[in-house]
Every structure is written in structure tokens, then in C-alpha cells.
Amino acid sequence: MAEKLSGTRDAYGETLVELGSENRNIVVLDADLSPSTKTILFAQKFPERFFDVGVAEANLVSVAAGLASAGKIAFASTFSVFGVEKTLNQFKQSVAYPNMNVKLVTTHGGISVGEDGSSHFCIEDIAVMRSLPNVTVIIPADAVETRAATRAIAEKSGPVYMRLSRPKTPQIYEDGYKFQGRDLKFEIGKSITLIEGGDVTILATGVMVAESLQAAQELARRGIRAGVVNFHTIKPLDKEAILRAAANTGAIVTAEEHTVLGGLGGAVAEVLVEEDPVPMARVGINDTYAESGPWRELFAKYGLTSADIVKAAEKVLKRKAK
Amino acid sequence: MAPFNQKMAPHDLKLINKLSEIALNIRKNSLIMTTKAGSGHPGGCLSCADILAAIYFHQLRYDPEKPDWEERDRFILSKGHAAPALYAALAMAGFFPTEELLKLRKIGSILQGHPDMRKTPGVDASTGTLGQGLSIGVGMALAFRLDNRPNRVYVLLGDGELDEGQVWEAAMSAAHYRIDNLTAIVDYNRQQLSGCIEKVMNLEPIGEKWSAFGWHVIKIDGHNMKQILDALDEAERVRGKPTVIIAYTVKGKGVPMLEKSFLSGDCKYHGTPLSEAELAKALEELHG
């Protein structure tokens, strides 16, 4: 089956324009990256409600907080590495602590940024953002889900962090948010079971959901019934789905475009260790900095492909058999 | 109670005496509160007391019965460590009972060590980590302008706080967006935590810096009530650009022992309250 690619950031920009027409309280901010984050689409349609603060991310986040405190729904965008790592204190103090209605939506997350290299990679954001009380953390699996997620976070009051990608990524859903003909609804905090598993369940987020679906096909060829669950929301974490997967299949693999420290794998491990310690393995970047290169090649070199998930699944099944 | 706004009052002696009396009360309460709490920042509370009195008892539109009233003006204490002075002003303005003041920094209190907009009625922004208040003010001012609302925004900055790069990011953006419903005030007491400004991080030429960033600059004696009121009025008249009032103040103002200590270059009372014995003496000597 030919892989269909589409852009999560394009979907975000286009949905912002729709939201802007529907709700005049939506404002959008950017830090000189609007052509890349696609907030430029909103800027062109609603120039009076768009604020570019220049290359000044600290100001970006606190100005967004001020707009929110005066009744606006403030979407602030830049690249993940800048939006999260240059503004952690601003985000915590101006946005998260006082529970402001700010949506920090960053693009160019993970290492799929590719050729720009390590200075532009962000593989720590899940760990950092999920440690902040009041903050919702979302990574859509593809462009279709991004549309649904952007609408959902606009409707939800309070701080949200959402990460999107630079490259066009595999589209796993049909337009209109369907999976294999099944209509879906995006609910913050509710994971989506794409394949029911028998032997092992892969819990994945972001672009790794597509890799996990491929891995499940390969595992099926090897006689292993692998489930795939899309964790588009990492906080609040769908604990029930984790425990259900543990109970049903007795083995868990997590997959994320993020360091293996403290991300989805960490969050799932926290739940399993305390409630149902079945064997699990984490697929992610193994506590290292990556490098410049085409993103698919980087995924191969740094352990983020369906083959890595297959390997992890087989490893975890050996432990389960003991 | 009608929304609090005495802006129509002329800057006559009666008003000035009333505001100075309130400032004295803010000083007195700030000293008592920090001593009773056993920690806090008395020096920087005393230097901004006159400014807070002018803001809360003449300049700002608000309704203590409705702290979230949408039409209110906003005040952001960006130098959040002067929270006791802000709390004293808010209590006097009627946002909460004055008995709360003695619970400052205690477990369960509505009065946190630094301003908290979710815990304290009347506090418009959560601050305490320096450098963010002006940016928040810029966001509020943009929102009010977008909605054609007359609300004004006031941000009080510390001078040491101007070391933070974010303040200048905010200053640049306020001028870029030609925001004129925002007034910044710098409490220029020329002392920061570890020493005097010129030794730790020189800010001069401070007026030229703001003016180069596109701001209308007014310099005043931050303890001269008439100058404070006139400057706030002037700021309101300026169109097409933001205004900063650089208020030359004295750290520890009103307490001879503290003024002398800061003047000698000793910054101990930046972040240390008076002992009970020192407090008793300070309250006797306290003047406007």
C-alpha cells in the first residue's frame, strides 16, 4: 500500500484559520517562524489578531499569558526546541501555574527536523511538559488527527502543549478522522486503540504510531498478535488503557520520537510498576544527541523504525514467556 | 460600592496628603508583615510605597467587590518580591480583610511570598520570577486595544529586574506595536540583592535606553506624590507609544536605619526583615 504523506503543521495552520472565523477571541502569536509553523495562514486572514514578537520566545509565552488573562484564547507557536527549552520558566510561571488559556503549539518536534541537526532537535519536551501541573500534553499521530486536536484544545480552557512535525508524515487516518472506515472522536486524555492485541501491545505517540502499525503487520507475519494504541494525549495519561493492554496482552512496548527518559515510556512505566508490572520495553532515542541528516535515515540510525519496534516486541515477549 | 476611581480629583494638597498617609500605612504594614512572617523583602517595599498609594488610591479603576470585573484597569507587580506592599494596598482598598496581612507566607494563606493571581483577590498577574511582568502587560494591553476597551495597564518593575533580557524583549514589542494603554514604572532605588546597581550591573544611561527602545520617558522623584500623579497623567495623554516613568526612589524609604544601611552599600535588608526590636524602633521613627 502506497504511503500517503501529509503535513501536521499545514493541518494546524489551516485549522487555525477555521477557528479564527468561528471565534473572534482566538489570537495567534509567533516568534518570527510563521512561514514554517504555518501560523502565517492565520496572519494573512486575521492580521489584527496575529502578533509576531520577533525572535523572542520568552516574550512570546508571557505576552500570550497576558492576552489570555484578558479573555483571549492565545495560540503561541515556534519550533519545539525554542518554545519549550527557552521558555520553561515563562511557561511555568506565566501560563501553567496560573492556569492561563494558552496553547503552546510547536512544530519541528523530535529529530525528524532532519538536516538542521541537534541544535534544532527537541526530544525532551514530553518529559519536561508532563512534569508541570495543569498542563495538557498532546502529540497528534498525523495531519488528520492534528485538525481534530487543534479544535479540541481550542475548546478546552487552560494550558496546553502540543507538538507537531517538520516533515510531511505518514497519514494513518482517512480524511474526516476515520480509521479503516471507523469514525473517531478526538477526546483529550482518551487513547485510541487501532489494533486489538493478543500477545503484546504497542503504545505509541506522534509519528511513531505509523511505525507501530507497520511493526504490527511485520509481527503478524511472524505469528505475533500485536496491538497498537495511539496515545495522542500524554497528559492526562489514559491509565485505564495502559492497564487494559497489560491485562489483555501481558507485554508492553512504547514508541516515541523522544528520549527514552521521562517521555511516554517513562509515563507508562510509572503506571505499570505501581499497578501491574508486566514486561515492557521502550523504543525511543537512547540518551544521546542525534545529528544532521534526512529524517528517515536518522530514524534508522537512532532506533526509531518499525524494525526497532519489532525487535523490542520480540525481546519483551521472551521475558513474558519466562 | 461604586467602582473605585478618584481620577477626577485635582492634585491638590488634600489629595496629596491623603495619598502620603496611605503610603505611610503601606510602609508600616510592610515592615510588620515581613517581621511577623520572619522573611521577605522590606527594602523594596518601602521604596515603592508612594507609587502604590498613587496607583491604588487615585489612578486605577477597579471594584474591590468584583476583583474580576472586566472593565478594571490592571496592575502588575513585576518586582514580585515587593508583594507585602501590594497586599497592604489591596487590603486598604477593600479586596480582603486587613487581618489577612499577618498571615503572609504562612501555610494556607491567601498571601503567598510572591503575588498569586489565583489565591489573592485583586492580584492581576502571578509574578515573582523577575522579568515577565512587562510581557504580560503587553499581552493585556494588546487584548484591550483589540476589543476597543478603555482599560489601562500598569507594570511596576524593579531596577535590578531590568538586568533580565526579557524586559527588553517586552520593551521592544510594546514600542513596535505602538501600545499606549500601558505604563511602566521603574522603582529606581539603585540597589539590588547583592549590591548597588552600578557595581552589580550598571543601567545607565537608563532614560536613553528606554527612549532608544521607542518609549516616552518621564523621570520623577518617586517619593514626591505630586510628581507621581503628574507623571501618571502625562503617561495617559501620550499617544502612539508606551510610557515609562523612571521613579528615583530610596531603598528603605521612611526608616532612617534602613536608609542609612542601604546608602552605606549594605544590602542586608533587601531580603531580610527587621527583628522585633528593630521593628519597634522603625515604627516609632517611620515618616513619609
Mean pLDDT of B149-171: 98
Contact between B173 and A72 using a beta-carbon 8 Å cutoff: no
Of chain B, the percentage scoring pLDDT greater than 90 comes to: 92
Burial B138-174 (b: 16+ CB within 10 A, else e): bbbbbbbbbeeeebbbbbbbbbbbbbbebbbbbbbbb
What is the pLDDT at residue B210? 98
pLDDT digits (tens, 9 = 90+) for A42-74: 999 999 999 999 999 999 999 999 999 999 999
Instruction: Write the class of the CATH domain B14-285.
Output: alpha beta
Q: Output the 3-class SS for A245-304.
A: HHHHHCCEEEEEEEECCCCHHHHHHHHHHHHCCCCEEEEEECCCCCCCCCHHHHHHHCCC
Intervals of CATH 3.40.50.970 along chain A = 5-170
pLDDT tens-digit readout, A128-149: 999 999 999 999 999 999 999 9
Cβ–Cβ gap A58/B177 under 8 Å: no
Q: Measure in Å the smallest separation between the Cα of B224 and chain A Cα atoms.
A: 31
10 Å Cβ neighbour count for B102? 14
Is the pLDDT assigned to residue B92 strictly greater than 80? Answer: yes
As annotated, the residues of chain A forming the CATH 3.40.50.920 domain(s) are: 189-321
Which one of A54, A70, A97 has the shortest CB-CB distance to B143? A70
Measure in Å the smallest separation between the Cα of A22 and chain B Cα atoms.
16
CA closest to B149 among chain A residues: A70
pLDDT digits (tens, 9 = 90+) for A291-300: 999 999 999 9
Q: Nearest residue on chain A to B119, judged by CA atoms? A: A98
Q: What is the pLDDT of residue A2?
A: 62
CB distance A93–B135 less than 8 Å?
no
Checking ipTM against 0.90, whether it exceeds it is yes
pLDDT at site A89? 98
pLDDT given at position B6:
54
pLDDT mean across residues, chain B? 95
pLDDT at B11: 79
Q: Which residues contact B108 (CB under 8 A, 6 or more apart)?
A: none
Mean pLDDT of A219-240: 98
Compute the nearest-CA separation of B263 from chain A (Å). Answer: 33
A189-321 adopts what CATH topology? Answer: Rossmann fold (3.40.50)
| Closest-approach residue (CA) in chain A for B137 | A66
Distance from CA of B170 to the nearest CA of A (A): 6
* B129, B147, B165 ranked by CB distance to A93: nearest: B129
Q: What is the reported pLDDT for B4?
A: 53
Inter-chain residue contact A64 with B139, CB threshold 8 Å:
yes
Catalytic residue among A57, A124, A256, A257: A57
pLDDT band at A321 (very low <50, low <70, confident <90, very high): confident
Residues of A in contact with B116 (CB under 8 A): 98
A99 CB neighbours in chain B (<8 A) are 118
Residue B7 confidence class, pLDDT cut points 50, 70, 90? low
Cβ contact (<8 Å) for B139 and A97?
Answer: no
Is it the case that residue B8 has pLDDT exceeding 60? Answer: no
Task: Name the DSSP letter for residue A121.
Answer: -
CA A254 to chain centre: 13
**Model pLDDT, residue A56:** 98
Answer whether B273's CB lies under 8 Å from B39's CB. yes
CA-nearest residue to A70 within chain B is: B140
Using CA coordinates, name the residue in chain A closest to B136: A66
Which of B124, B126, B170 shows the shortest C-beta gap to A93?
B126
Report the amino acid identity of residue A8.
T
CB contact (8 A) between residue A72 and residue B143: yes
Is the confidence at residue B1, as pLDDT, over 60?
no
Tell me if the bond preceding A279 is cis, omega within 30° of 0. no
Q: Clarify whether A218 is annotated catalytic.
A: no
Q: pLDDT tens, B111-154? A: 999 999 999 999 999 999 999 999 999 999 999 999 999 999 99
Which of residues B281 and B8 earns the better pLDDT score? Answer: B281
**Which pLDDT score is estimated for B224?**
97
Strands A226-230 and A200-204 turn out to be parallel
Does residue B3 have a pLDDT over 90?
no
- Determine the average pLDDT of the residues in A147-156: 98
- Asked whether the beta carbons of residue A59 and residue B173 sit closer than 8 angstroms, the reply is yes
A257-270 in b/e form (b: 16+ CB < 10 A) is: bbbbbbbbbbbbbe
Residues of A in contact with B73 (CB under 8 A): none
pLDDT reported for residue B265: 86
Average pLDDT value for chain A: 97
Q: Which CATH architecture has domain A5-170?
A: 3-Layer(aba) Sandwich (3.40)
What are the pLDDT digits (tens) for A94-130?
A: 999 999 999 999 999 999 999 999 999 999 999 999 9
> Which chain B residues are closer than 8 Å to A70 by Cβ?
74, 139-140, 143-144, 147, 151
pLDDT of residue A3: 84
Residues of B whose CB is below 8 A from A62 = 132, 135-136, 139, 166, 170
Question: Which of A27, A49, A66 is the closest to B137 by Cβ?
Answer: A66
By Cβ distance, the residue of B126, B143, B166 closest to A67 is: B143
Tens digits of per-residue pLDDT, B30-45?
999 999 999 999 999 9
The reported pLDDT for the residue numbered A197 is 95
